[in-house]
Structure 1
Amino acid sequence: MAEQIYLVNPTTGKRFRIGGCKLSTTPADEPKFAASRMFADKDLPPLVDLRSMMTAVENQKETNA
């Protein structure tokens, strides 16, 4: 079995395990990705900024991320 490695917050002393993941108990409702491309390169914009659509950064302690 692999050795468990932790990062430690020096201020709070909290330990965060590195590696692993927390699996969902319910299947995703999202559609699967298509096997082929739907647009040609020339039809796509040169730059896309998705920052306004992103969620805030949060503590991911339970995910071991």
Structure 2
Amino acid sequence: MLTAREFDLLAHLMRHPGQAFSRAALLDQVWGWSFGDASTVTVHVRRLREKIGPRRIVTVWGVGYRYEPA
């Protein structure tokens, strides 16, 4: 079962398949924070990968994360 924040993050990424988002952009667009610790995003992505599988959320080195549909 996903937490509310994990669901929000996954829904945001799924609405924009293939588009990479920086951690700062995700903090702003999902959390609504204009500042904060980017490791928050990293931890939520790790937990999502554990729950839905590692292949759906892809790390784009030097950018951030994107969702890869099946």
- Structure with more helix by fraction: 2
**TM-score for the superposition, normalised by structure 1:** 0.17
Higher Cα Rg: structure 1 or 2?
Answer: 1
**TM-score for the superposition, normalised by structure 2:** 0.17
